[in-house]
Structure 1
Amino acid sequence: MNQRARDFYQSSNGDRWSLVRDLDSGRVFVRHEPNRSSGGQTSETAVGDFLVRDAHGPEHAELLRLIGTLVDPG
């Protein structure tokens, strides 16, 4: 799979969120990589689903900030 990713948030406990685009399919999604000690598994969520599910965390605010830079005149 040919993908391009941009990290947009890392929590103090080491969890990491990235905005990912699959260059082959055009699919865009959020990848969550939990910290190693939690033993959790990496998950992939559609951007819309990510933004509406429990959307009050700093990772949500940071994704919205990143999206906002797409229309910022610079």
Structure 2
Amino acid sequence: MTIRTTSTARTLPTTGPQEAALPATDTLLDAIGYSRGRFIVESAGTPPLVIPAWSEVQRVVEDCRG
């Protein structure tokens, strides 16, 4: 699975069919939260998902960090 944001792109190992895990401190979560407009999730065998980078994403990340 590959996550693309305005500032970065990273391939993540999957833990299930379409599932990946990140620790709450991972900088990719910040990149998703601060991405301009949208971020993209790509996975083999499925069309890419283009997801709006709403402020709620960053709020959830901050809540998980405690």
Same structural fold, with TM-score higher than 0.5 when normalized by the shorter chain: no
TM range (shorter): 0.3 to 0.5
